[in-house]
Structure 1
Amino acid sequence: MQQDIQTLDNLISDEQVSEFLRKHPHFFEQHANLLSEIYLPSPHGSGAISLAERQQLAQRDKIRVLEVKLAQLIEFAEENDVTSAKVHALAIKLMANQSNQLGFEVLEQVISKDLKQDFSVSQTHLHIWLKPNDQALVNNIAFAPVNEAFSDWVMALNAPFCGTKPTVVDELLEPHLQSFAFIPLFKEFAKTKDIKHIFGVLILGAEEQHRFKTNMGTMYLERIGSLVSAAVVNYL
């Protein structure tokens, strides 16, 4: 008898059994007793369980994984809502500055205060290498000359750069800052909106090493860059 079973095992492969069950989905309906008679090792290491129990455990595990993913999605959505509201608030303040003609110095204060307060950054820097349209701004630190290597590096960016301090900006940033976001400032040409002329950069610095990471998303940083660019371009 034992030899017959071994011979049968040799004739029928695991793949053939799997294929048979796939082709006969009602097999266990016709042989319902097998669900309680066939025992499998428990995936949680607690002895053997029936096939039906094993299936229930598998479903529970899948549901648990889906619940974790759903919780993560909800958390990300809530974080995005908060960030979106902060960007919206910044946009309103920048528009108010322009409407009330409060001047470039007030604009700088609005940008610095809002980004430090709402976006958890330690320092903000504006560097603009186009001349201002008001001679009174020539001596403003935002229009101070920067080295050509730095401006060339910024103008080569296609998106905000996040991470540690590049060597080309060593002398511009405080040594205690650990991570940075470099957001190009640009103006679009009316006839060719796909071409952007980069005229400066907004630098955000943080004391936390992982505040700005190389692999982080930059969608909101790009939106901040667009808003600040539109506000600053009025002074060029």
Structure 2
Amino acid sequence: MHAQEIIAFFNAHPEFFDEHPEMLNQLTVPHPLNGQAISLTERQLLTLREKLAQVQGKLAELVSFGEENDVIAEKVHRLTLSLLLAEDFESVNFAVYNHLQEDFAVPHVALRIWNSILKRPVPEFIEVSEELRFYAADLRQPYCGPAAQHGEILTWFGEAADHLRSMALIPLRRDAQIFGMLALGSEDPQRFFPEMGTMYVERIGDMVGAAVLKQIG
């Protein structure tokens, strides 16, 4: 008999081992690691243990992700409280830089605001090019990826610009209009990468945008 015929027989007669239970102990198969002969029952136990180990590994991974998300959520909460308590633009600005650099460990942060009635003599209000404004308006979600292709934005980081390898660019919105951008930079090329999730990054952008609008209109 060929292998397929044997498989077809057992599929057609699932009651075979109920009628001949002694066969379960008489039949042997090679151990998957050492090749020694073991019973079908032992082989099935090994298979179940392997599946259990895989499930436990997936569960540990999910728990790890959950704990990581809890940590991030707590950081976002602290940033939110600081922005809510800010009484002027300077306080908002301090909260943004302080929490992102100290709490989130983002080494380089830059904020730019345009189309604002009230301006300040600070770097955050330095004019940006029309090309950059169009680019920001076209972003449907934050950009995460290599830093090299964003020459104008790199200049916002001063002497650190030449060392940045990855970047997150978060547009600040007033309804459908973009009025600014929050840029995060890192020397690590994998700190911000295209496939990363952007949910928390978007939420930070929403909160910063709302806090800025509250102070400068």
Quick one: which amino acid aligns to residue 139 of structure 1? P
What SS does structure 2 have at the residue aligned with 1:125? Answer: strand
Matched with 2:197 is 217
Quick one: which amino acid aligns to residue 91 of structure 2? V
C-alpha deviation, 1:23, in angstroms: 4.1
For each residue in 1:133-174, what CA deviation from the matched residue of structure 2 results, as whole angstroms up to 9, or x when unmatched?
Answer: 3xxx34221111112222211211111111111234343332
For each residue in 1:33-62, what CA deviation from the matched residue of structure 2 results, as whole angstroms up to 9, or x when unmatched?
Answer: 111111112221332221111111111100
Instruction: Give the paired residue count.
Output: 211
Percent sequence identity is 37
RMSD, aligned α-carbons:
1.6
Q: Which runs of 5+ in 1 are unaligned?
A: 1-8, 189-195
Matched with 1:132 is 117
TM-score when normalising by structure 2: 0.90
1:20 aligns with 2:5: no
Matched with 1:116 is 101
| Conserved? CA contact 1:184–1:200, under 8 Å | yes
| d(CA) in 2 for partners of 1:219, 1:23 | 52
Matched with 1:142 is 124
| d(CA) in 2 for partners of 1:230, 1:167 | 25
What SS does structure 1 have at the residue aligned with 2:133? Answer: helix
What SS does structure 1 have at the residue aligned with 2:172? Answer: strand
| d(CA) in 2 for partners of 1:90, 1:154 | 24
Q: Aligned ranges for residues 1-236 of structure 1 at < 5 Å?
A: 9=1, 13-97=2-86, 101=87, 103-133=88-118, 137-165=119-147, 166-169=149-152, 170-173=154-157, 174-188=161-175, 196-234=176-214, 235-236=216-217
C-alpha deviation, 1:214, in angstroms: 1.3
For each residue in 1:72-104, what CA deviation from the matched residue of structure 2 results, as whole angstroms up to 9, or x when unmatched?
Answer: 00000000011111111111111111xxx2x11
C-alpha deviation, 1:186, in angstroms: 0.2
| d(CA) in 1 for partners of 2:21, 2:72 | 55
| Conserved? CA contact 1:180–1:203, under 8 Å | yes
